[in-house]
Amino acid sequence: MSVVQRNNVVIAGEGTRPMIFAHGYGCDQQMWRLVAPAFAGTHRLVLFDHVGSGRSDLAAYDRAKYSSLQAYADDMLEICDELDLERAVFVGHSVSAMIGALAAIKAPERFESLVLIGPSPCYVDQGDYVGGFTRRDIDELLEFQDSNYLGWAADLGPAFMGNPERPELATELTNSFCRTDPAIARQFAAVTFLSDNRADLPKVTTPSLILQCQQDVIAPPAVGEYMHRHLANSRLVLMAATGHCPHLSAPEETIAAMQSFLEA
Confidence (pTM): 0.97
pLDDT of residue 246: 98
- Tell me the pLDDT tens digit for each residue of 135-155: 999 999 999 999 999 999 999
| pLDDT of 1 above 90 | no
Residues belonging to the active site: 94, 216, 244
What mean pLDDT is predicted for residues 220-244? 97
Share of the chain above pLDDT 70, in %: 100
Instruction: State how far the Cα of 110 lies from the Cα of 218, in Å rounded to an integer.
Output: 29
CA distance to 4, 32, 47, per residue, from 22 (Å): 14, 9, 7
- The reported pLDDT for the residue numbered 106 is 98
Ordered by where they begin, the domains of the chain are 3-122+197-263 (3.40.50.1820)
- CA dist., res. 195 & res. 209, Å (int): 21
Residue 181 backbone dihedrals phi, psi, to 5 degrees: -55, 125
Which CA distances in Å does 176 have to 46, 156, 170? Answer: 21, 11, 10
